[in-house]
Amino acid sequence: MKILVTGAGGFIGGHLAGTLVADGHEVRAVDVKPLEDWYQVHEEAESRVGDVSLLENAREAVDGVEHVYNLAADMGGMGFIENNRALCMLSVLTSTHVLQAAHEAGVDRYFYSSSACVYAGEKQTESDVVALKEVDAYPADPEDGYGWEKLFSERMARHFREDFGFKTRMARYHNVYGPNGTYDGGREKAPAAMCRKIALIAQGKSDVLEIWGDGEQTRSFMYVDDCVRGSQEILNGDFAEPVNLGSAELVTINQLADIVEDIAGVKAQRQYKLDAPQGVRGRNSDNTLFHSVYGWEPSITLREGLEKTYAWIYDQLALGDHAREPLGAR
């Protein structure tokens, strides 16, 4: 099967493209970044540099493919999305044009990577949060900027399905992490940032662990292998509504730090930056719907995933390669 992955030079896109190639598919990988800035380039894939926020480029990208995974977006961790709301909302051009081009080209199935940031803020005000069900996205009160773009693009994909019979599928990603992704430069997410900070301490390059907020805010984190498997099953399945794709293993940020410290064999002095971006107070994934449809749920433990992530980031830092700031892909 010929499959397009947009955002293929980024974190999740790179892992997804590699898995599809390994499964024997003909993969077209597209990203806005120069090829030398992609996190993974797979020799067996057709790798193209292109800005699919432009309709003509999106049309070229989808030409001749059967399935589309649209993972391209201008995004990052909380530090980025809270300070770049306009840039995050401009991703609606990518979401719109790839969807439009895929429908025009007669693509059989289209996958859209949404986010847990679509969920209503009033349901995420406590650390001891009730896990979020898919229905909790409405009445709408998503993360400003990034969350609104994702929620709008979900609705657009839904209406393409309802109005045109186009097979669209949507996953709400919950905090994906793993190796071969952003870990520095301002766009990294909490697990990668924590691994970087503690690796620098382990290497004698830093002596204080800065934690944003008081460390008692809660999240669940999904390892990228679970994300790739779930994305494939969602695209190929019959369930058409948005569905959570995330781990249900809830931890505080302080507990996240504890795990990475234990992996690294260090105990760091902690410094809490209370005025830093923190996002919602608590967020967790309710996997009841996902499990009922697909018969499993993301189960790679946080400890197991962090061991692999920390080892990769430690090695990158040891090589001195920690100033990359990849743009424009998940």
Q: Are 44 and 27 in contact (CB under 8 A)?
A: yes
pLDDT bucket at 325, cuts 50 / 70 / 90: very low
The pairing of beta strand 167-173 with beta strand 243-245: parallel
CA distance 23 to 242: 25
pLDDT tens digits, 242-252: 999 999 999 99
Nearest CA-CA partner of 226 in 289, 291, 279: 291
For residue 114, the SS3 value is strand
pLDDT score, position 321: 53
Q: What is the largest CA-CA distance in the chain?
A: 59
- What CATH number does the domain containing 116 carry? 3.40.50.720
Q: In this prediction, what percent of the chain has a pLDDT beyond 90?
A: 97
What is the set of active-site residues? Answer: 146
Average pLDDT over residues 207-215: 96
At residue 211, does pLDDT exceed 60?
A: yes
Q: Domain limits at 196? A: 1-330
Q: How many domains are there within the chain?
A: 1
pLDDT bucket at 327, cuts 50 / 70 / 90: very low
